[in-house]
Amino acid sequence: MDPRLNERDAIADILAFHVEAGVDVALGDAPVDRFEESARERSMLRPRPQVAESRPAPSAPAPARPAHITSRAPTPAAPALPGDAPPPPDIAAIEAREAAASAPTLEALSELLQGFDGCPLKHTATRLVFADGNPRARLMLVGEAPGRDEDIEGKPFVGRSGKLLDRMLAAIGIDRTRAYIANVVPWRPPGNRTPTPQETAICLPFIRRQIELADPDILVCLGGPSAQTLLGITDGITKARGRWQEYNTGTRTIPALATFHPAYLLRSPLGKRMVWRDLMAIEAKLAEFGANPRP
């Protein structure tokens, strides 16, 4: 038998293994030793006197592309370059706080995020997934992080779980003209893995500012990670869901509710019964404010 056939089968097997493991993005042709990279970064790390000084001037010449980064499909997000190595997470979180606080509008916040290099996820995602729906809606829903479809389209909740979310909202007469939708983390984690605590901490000031600027009357956290991050719940989502809590937007306190993530419902349809109750509670609460978007 032609040995190339065996080789082709072996390569197909390896590729299938990677896809099943969630590796669906090719970032380069050559392997990269991340341990060596971070050891080098640590050894080069100097105290940074001022956070703002750590960024290269906008006009600074772009560093040369390293050999290990080869071109991928054209994407709006810039690939990581050595000079762009994200700052350590604690510095990135400080930069994120300062940047987020400086955004006067949602548009400005979205632009700031486009230019923010502090979160490593930006460099593996295709694009920023900022928000969808109506920023003047009284209801804001926040998920965990974009998945593959969202990464491609640049909008939150457009894949299978998004379709289910749309059906859930339709059950209480809400569509995307009456809801504003975002995620705690606005870049897709590779292979849809859960964002790390550091990635979440870096993105947190941005979603907090996004909520403050959108100024909804009701906040709904979709899934445990969103509820833990925004509402500080320590119970599991099964226990915490369906209970009204308070969320401080920075300018006022609004009612907030955690419910199951639609992706969980796709795996565990029995949960829909409980989500139905949560939807009824959301509908009743919205009636207190008037379900129409603010003028």
How many Cβ atoms from other residues are within 10 Å of residue 173's Cβ? 10
Query: Which residue in the block uniquely carries the two structure tokens 């897709």?
Result: 188
Which residue stretch of 13-21, 45-53, 83-91, 156-164 sits at the interface with ligand URA (rule: CB under 6 A)?
156-164
Asked if 259 is part of the footprint of ligand URA (rule: CB under 6 A), the reply reads no
One residue of 157, 187, 247, 264 binding ligand URA per CB under 6 A = 157
In sequence order, which ranges of 80-215 are alpha helices (DSSP H)? 89-102, 106-115, 148-153, 160-170, 197-214
Nearest residue to ligand URA by CB is 143
Structure tokens at 197: 């605590």
Asked if 143 is part of the footprint of ligand URA (rule: CB under 6 A), the reply reads yes
Per CB under 6 A, contacts with ligand URA among 38-77 are: none
Asked if 145 is part of the footprint of ligand URA (rule: CB under 6 A), the reply reads yes
Q: Coil, strand, or helix at residue 285?
A: helix
Asked if 119 is part of the footprint of ligand URA (rule: CB under 6 A), the reply reads no
Q: Coil, strand, or helix at residue 135?
A: coil
| CB nearer ligand URA, residue 13 or residue 24 | 24
Asked if 264 is part of the footprint of ligand URA (rule: CB under 6 A), the reply reads no
Asked if 161 is part of the footprint of ligand URA (rule: CB under 6 A), the reply reads yes
Residue 63 Cα distances to 78, 129, 248, angstroms: 13, 27, 42
| CB nearer ligand URA, residue 91 or residue 152 | 152
One residue of 95, 117, 144, 278 binding ligand URA per CB under 6 A = 144
DSSP string of 186-207, one letter each residue: -SPPGGGPPPPHHHHHHHHHHH
Binding mask 163-192 for ligand URA (x = CB under 6 A): --------------------x---------
Q: Coil, strand, or helix at residue 226?
A: helix
One residue of 89, 135, 156, 271 binding ligand URA per CB under 6 A = 156
Residue 221 Cα distances to 2, 19, 85, 102, angstroms: 56, 30, 32, 25
Asked if 216 is part of the footprint of ligand URA (rule: CB under 6 A), the reply reads no
Which residue stretch of 4-12, 47-55, 89-97, 141-149 sits at the interface with ligand URA (rule: CB under 6 A)?
141-149
- Under DSSP, the state recorded for 221 is E
Query: Which residue in the block uniquely carries the two structure tokens 């606080």?
Result: 101
Using only the alpha carbons of the chain, give its radius of gyration. Answer: 21
| CB nearer ligand URA, residue 247 or residue 260 | 260
Residue numbers of the site for ligand URA (CB under 6 A)? 143-147, 150, 156-157, 159, 161-162, 183, 263
